[in-house]
Amino acid sequence: MVGIVVVSHSERAAEGIAEIAAEMAGDTRIEPVGGDGKGGIGTVPDAIEAAIDAAAGGEEEESDADGGEEDEGDADGVVVLVDLGSAVMNADVAVELSDAEAVIADAPVLEGAVNAAVAATDPSATVESVREQAEAARDIEKL
Amino acid sequence: MSDDGAAVVAAVEAVAERIEAERDHLTQLDSAIGDADHGGNMARGWAEAADAARDLDDPDPETVAKTVGKTLMSEVGGASGPLFGGSLVFAAGELDGGITPETAVAFAETYLEKVEDRGDARVGDQTMVDALTPAVHTFKKSIEVDNLPPIEALAKAVDAAERGVAFTVPIRARKGRASYLGWRSVGHQDPGATSTLFILEELLAVAAERLGVDVPETDAASPTIPDEDPDDAGGSEDD
């Protein structure tokens, strides 16, 4: 099963988006993560890495850049949705640090998360198919 | 080995002190084109990083670099966290054999590569890349082609970075928050390039101090970098 991580500068926004996406997600793991770790607006790579590991079904543990214990979890990888600017860079660092197979979707964070959640319920879903569906959200027209 | 580790800790402490001293200057540069947080963020991050480095027990250079990188990543915030900190975490691995001219070049190249990839910026985008790229290229050439002593190579790299900082003034920002200003970013010195120069200057000063030599003179004429008066912070915009 493919896991999903929702990254926002606001922890509450990430939680809210994950809550909306979870409506469509069956038993897919959706991990919200955000905020600067001190109650403010921002993102932190370590926290995103922990969310990726959790969405991958692995243990949440401090991994370090040189690997150590490989723990890829039991998921078929993780798709990461991000909001703005430095969240993209911090998620990129986290993906590189994590042992799980994770990719960032170039998609609007809320619509992308909902699309990804739907795509992840397909028994044959892969990180690529889920990322593709998340990125299809760029073409959603609302009016 | 541990002597190299101690040198890196000393360098981190010197950088933290310098960034703190330049806090208002960096904030003022950032307030012209960004969100005015570069000085505070960097000063806080490097202070924490210096503490973390000091707390290590007889560390090797790789461990110090990785610890500092991780601290910057979690403390600096904004894009500077992943750029300055993340790049350091990944480049640290190049120092696992200690500090030699070869590992220093590899470290510098990996650091630059990570900054370029992560920030998706190239020379001419009015970012830290404008200071970092000429510095790294100059360092590599000085070591590998000109066979200069590492301290002279580093002095040349600092000189190149200084010219890179001056280069950011007349160009237009293509990345980061400053790019939202379009042509109005022209005429402003990039804060990230400036703090990159300060870091390199401190590495050079600490290296010279530990070798017991004066900071080498480079023959290139250094440009004058417009030094806006920090006392003016929050004042009127430059026209």
Q: What is the pLDDT of residues B155-194, one digit of tens each?
A: 999 999 999 999 999 999 999 888 988 989 999 999 999 9
Instruction: Give the residue-averaged pLDDT of B66-89.
Output: 95
Would an 8 Å CB–CB cutoff place A62 in contact with chain B? no
What does pLDDT average to over chain A?
90
Chain B CB within 8 Å of residue A10 CB: no
pLDDT at B237: 37
- pLDDT of A36 above 60: yes
pLDDT at B220: 57
As a whole number of angstroms, the distance between CA B131 and CA B192 comes to: 9
- Position A63 scores a pLDDT of 46
Q: What percent of chain B has pLDDT over 90?
A: 81
Can you tell me the distance from the alpha carbon of B213 to that of B24, in angstroms, rounded to the nearest whole number? 31
In this model, does residue B233 exceed pLDDT 50? no
In this model, does residue A59 exceed pLDDT 60?
Answer: no
d(CA B151, CA A44): 35
- Written as one string, the DSSP assignment of A28-94 is --EEEEES-SSSSS---HHHHHHHHHHHTT------BTTB-S----SSS-EEEEE-SHHHHHHHHHH
How many whole angstroms separate alpha carbon A29 and alpha carbon A55? 5
Q: Does A90 touch chain B (CB under 8 A)?
A: yes
Cα torsion angle, B16, B21, B24, B29, sign: negative
Q: Where do the domains of chain A lie, and which CATH numbers do they carry?
A: 3-58+75-139 (3.40.50.510)
- Which of A2, A3, A7, A9 is flagged as catalytic? A9
Q: Write down how long chain B is.
A: 239
Residues of B in contact with A45 (CB under 8 A): 73-74, 81-82, 86
Q: Is A112 a catalytic residue?
A: no
B10: pLDDT strictly greater than 70 = yes
Q: What pLDDT digit, counting tens, does each position of A17-27 carry?
A: 999 999 988 89
Residue A41: is its pLDDT beyond 80?
yes
At A74 the pLDDT is 65
CA dihedral B75, B80, B85, B86 (to 10 degrees): 120
Q: What domains can you pick out in chain B, each with its CATH number?
A: 3-211 (1.25.40.340)
The answer to whether the Cβ–Cβ distance between B66 and A36 falls below 8 Å is no
pLDDT for the residue A26: 87
- Dist CA A103 CA A129 (whole Å): 11
Q: Which chain B residue has its CA at the smallest distance from A93's CA?
A: B86
Q: Give the chain B residue whose CA is nearest to the CA of A46.
A: B74
Residue B230: per-residue pLDDT: 42
Answer with the residue of higher pLDDT: B238 or A105.
A105
Question: Rounded distance, CA A13 to CA A15, Å?
Answer: 5
What mean pLDDT is predicted for residues A123-136?
Answer: 96
Residue B219 predicted with pLDDT over 90: no
Give the span between the Cα atoms of A56 and A80, in whole angstroms. Answer: 11
B103-149 per-position pLDDT tens digit? 999 999 999 999 999 999 999 999 999 999 999 999 999 999 999 99
Q: Which residue type occupies B115? A: V
Question: What mean pLDDT is predicted for residues A71-78?
Answer: 73
DSSP SS3 for A102: strand
Instruction: For chain A, give the percent of residues with pLDDT over 70.
Output: 87
pLDDT tens-digit map of B14-51: 999 999 999 999 999 999 988 888 999 999 999 999 99
